[in-house]
Amino acid sequence: MGTNFERYRVKAGTKVDLGKEPTRGDDAYGGDKDAGYARLDALRDEIAELQDRLYAEEKHKVLIVLQAMDTAGKDSTIRDVFKETNPQGVRVASFGRPTDEELAHDYLWRVHKYTPAAGHIRVFNRSHYEDVLVVRVNELVPEDRWKRRYGHIRDFERLLVDEGTTIRKFFLHISKDEQRERLQERLDIKEKHWKFESGDLRVRERWDDYMAAYADAIKETSTVDAPWYIIPSDRRWYRKLAVAEIVLETLKDLDPKYPDPPDNLHHIAIPD
């Protein structure tokens, strides 16, 4: 039995307390992981078909934003949800520490050029939200400055929506205990050593500060047209399934169609 993943959508103006939001979320399909992955396989094919139509039609633009604490599964979510899609029409943009050139401009300068073109899906692995998260927690700019950015971000996303972009934003919500296990996994398994960074431990020490920053950012910027979804992510299969279901419904709502062929195609014969 499935579940209503739309319930994870944060309504505009809703107060967010991440300490009260679920992180496990294994109720879908009776908590049956195998059934969940079977459903995910089917979803991938449906997403790929709709993405192919979207790319051919060149009408709609889709922006997917993924934010999370370290180890929550942003990379694997992107890989597994969009596994069957055409990479020409699905691009990923990752935003790490700003370069000197980027710091010389306003904080949205580096982001805008990566927003999707018509017919494309763009996935942000981290995003403009770093400038009200990392910047806030590490006190890189004064409080009154980062607080004003909530309004900037709402206006920026409103601009994108008004110009034809559909936006869906996902916070992949894991528990602190689950993160500890995943970080330990990166130390215990040789093939995962490359994933471990000591800086992750420093971020972990500020867990409560980050939860407060995420909660405020989600509350201040979840709007009717650019909603946030808080996705329980302690179970890998559930997280991927939830994101895939929401992405699929988003594409279905857009209802992309293949363009009509030119009228004279029936006169064309391919020579031997």
Per-residue pLDDT at 16 exceeds 60: yes
Per-residue pLDDT at 4 exceeds 60: yes
Give the pLDDT band (50/70/90) at residue 269: confident
Residue 241, pLDDT score: 96
Taking the mean position of all CA atoms in its chain, how far away is CA 105?
Answer: 25
Could you tell me which residues are beta bridge partners of residue 125? 66, 94
* Range 218-238 average pLDDT: 97
Q: pLDDT (tens digit, 9 = 90+) per residue, 104-119?
A: 999 999 999 999 999 9
User: Which of 116, 59, 70 minimizes the C-alpha distance to 92?
Assistant: 116
Give the pLDDT band (50/70/90) at residue 2: low
What percent of the chain lies above the pLDDT cut of 90?
86
Instruction: Name the CATH superfamily for 5-254.
Output: P-loop containing nucleotide triphosphate hydrolases (3.40.50.300)
Q: pLDDT (tens digit, 9 = 90+) per residue, 220-229?
A: 999 999 999 9
Residue 245, pLDDT score: 96
Residue 44, pLDDT score: 96
Contact predicate 237/36, CB 8 Å: yes
User: Which of 268, 256, 199, 261 minimizes the C-alpha distance to 55?
Assistant: 256
Residue 1, pLDDT score: 43
Per-residue pLDDT at 153 exceeds 70: yes
What percent of the chain lies above the pLDDT cut of 70?
99
* Range 129-152 average pLDDT: 97
Residue 85, pLDDT score: 97
Spell out the domain ranges in the chain: 5-254
- The mean predicted confidence, pLDDT, of the chain is 94
Residue 49, pLDDT score: 98
Sign of CA dihedral 11, 8, 5, 115: positive
Per-residue pLDDT at 131 exceeds 90: yes
Least confident of 12-21, 64-73, 111-120, 194-203: 194-203
Q: pLDDT (tens digit, 9 = 90+) per residue, 45-99?
A: 999 999 999 999 999 999 999 999 999 999 999 999 999 999 999 999 999 899 9
* Range 141-156 average pLDDT: 97
Give the pLDDT band (50/70/90) at residue 262: confident
> When comparing pLDDT for 198 and 21, which is higher?
21
